[in-house]
Structure 1
């Protein structure tokens, strides 16, 4: 039996769960509560020194990094392969998996500039926040988290990651003009990899970043959500009430994000 150390709403955990479900694999959950710092406990850090989720354990094999987990389960699972056979599409998929490193950081920025920041400030003392940030093993990411908690949507990290997101939306829209899915006519690894990230932005009321200009992305998102793998990856982990609460919080912050986004787009048009 596969064991997946993950967190209910973590985008990379959702990504791994969708992949496992698409491959028809069963797994045992070990759910970590990230706001409590479970990912920084010594026992877990022995499995994943980076102190992040998810981590997949298959017997004596420990696999970290969600994109690598997708490739691992594609190799061990039966049924349709997630990664395309076509050489060109396979190469494109691998590039998207590499891009997921910066995409994840951009989604993290948008989350901690808005909904997650709001939750931390309301539920934790300044001392508890300091301790959680100090426990992060990567000092660069810790400094970013400090800035987002202190400055929210006004953080310079927000505009920096607008560049990442603009590129993602541009390239997704271009692909979806000629394909049903990011991997062509069949749902594949690129779709699995991106679905959790785009879903998170929508869940925190940020679909305005793309919807009016690129509605194909919304159509792709809804088609991905209609798949049984998405329901298996989400329904027993996050309640409808929790989704609604996250969206309500996001809607409070959206006007400020939208103002900065529109200014960012205007600046690109004038360059």
Structure 2
């Protein structure tokens, strides 16, 4: 039996849950409260020393990193149904799966420089924030989080995030102008791997990042949101009131973010 340790609104957890739904796989669910700090529990860190989610356990085998989990599930239990065949398709798929590491970092940056920053600073004292940062095992991630919480959209990480997203959206637009799905006519794990990130930007009220320059992305997003796997893996874990609060909070940042987006080289 599969056991998935995950966070309800974690984008990486969302993409694995969408993959599980697409493959029709059942699993034992262990939801961690990330705001409470469940990911730092010593027992969980034995499974995932990086103290992040998700983590998949399959008969004692521990699999971490969401893209790796997707690939593992599709190969072992999905007969490769989400994996395009042929040299070009396989290389392109692998490249997109690698790129999600940078895309995830970009989404993390835009979240913690805006809405998450406001939430944390409103609920916690400087001392509590410092204690939370000290619990993060990766010193580089710790310094990045500090930069975002202190500088907001003025953090150097924001420009890097926008550059990463612009390159990704440029390539997504080219792919989706030619076909309905990222890898062609057939739905694939690349679509699964990207949906949670684009959906998070949409939920933050940042869809203006693609609506004008990369309109094919919006059609793809709506098609993804209409799939049962989205309902099961993302929508089912989203609190409607919290989702509306997220969008309203993000709207306060849009004009500033748009100005920075339009100034990219």
Instruction: Output the TM-score relative to the length of structure 2.
Output: 0.97
- Which residue does 1:146 correspond to in 2? 146
Q: Is the 8 A contact 1:133 1:142 kept in 2?
A: yes
**Aligned residue number for residue 181 of structure 1:** 181
In the alignment, structure 2 segments of 5+ residues that lack a partner are none
Greater mean alpha carbon deviation, residues 7-16 or residues 35-44: 35-44
Contact 1:8–1:238 under 8 Å retained in 2:
yes
> Deviations for 1:2-24, whole angstroms, at most 9, x for unmatched residues?
11100011000001000000000
Mapped to 1, the partners of 2:80 and 2:56 lie a distance apart of 21
Matched, 1:85 2:72: no
Once the two structures are superposed, residues 124-145 of structure 1 have per-residue CA deviations (whole angstroms, 9 ceiling, x without a partner) of 2222211111111111110000
Between the aligned partners of 1:214 and 1:236, the Cα distance in structure 2 is: 28
Equivalence for 1:109? 109
For 1:164, the equivalent position in structure 2 comes to 164
Q: Which residue of 1 aligns with 2:190?
A: 190
1:70-92 deviation digits (Å, cap 9, x = unpaired): 01110222466111123211110
Local SS of the residue matching 1:3:
strand
- How far is the alpha carbon of 1:100 from its aligned partner? 0.9
Q: Which residue of 1 aligns with 2:36?
A: 36
Matched residues in 1 for 2:210 and 2:250: separation?
Answer: 16
Shift of 1:153: 1.1
Partner of 2:204: 204
Root mean square deviation, CA, Å: 1.1
- Tell me how far 1:220 sits from its aligned partner: 0.3
1:213 aligns with 2:202: no
CA distance in 1, matches of 2:91, 2:185: 17
Report the alpha carbon displacement of residue 236 of structure 1 after superposing the two structures with TM.
Answer: 2.6
> Gaps (5+ residues) in structure 1?
none
Moved over 4 A (4+): none
- Counterparts of 2:86 and 2:43, CA distance in 1: 41
> Is contact 1:106-1:165 (8 Å) kept?
yes
Aligned pairs (5 A) from 1:125-140 = 125-140=125-140
The CA deviation at 1:123 is 1.6
TM-score by length of 1: 0.95
- Paired position in structure 1 for 2:155: 155
Alpha-carbon shift at residue 97 of structure 1 (Å): 0.6
Distance 1:87 1:242 in 2: 43
Farther off after superposition, 141-150 or 229-238 = 229-238
CA shift for structure 1 position 35: 1.6
Shift of 1:261: 1.3
Q: Do 1:23 and 1:79's aligned partners in 2 also have CA atoms closer than 8 Å?
A: no
In 2, Cα distance between equivalents of 1:94 and 1:239: 33
Aligned residues: 265
SS of the counterpart of 2:29? strand
Distance 1:85 1:133 in 2: 43
| Greater alpha carbon shift after TM alignment, 71-80 vs 108-117 | 71-80
Structure 2 residue 49 is the aligned partner of structure 1 residue 49 = yes
In the alignment, what sits opposite 2:66?
A: 66
Alpha-carbon distance in 2 for matches of 1:180, 1:80: 20
SS at match of 2:62: strand
Paired residue secondary structure (1:236): helix
The residue number in structure 2 matching 1:6 is 6
| Contact 1:103/1:164 (8 A) holds in 2 | yes
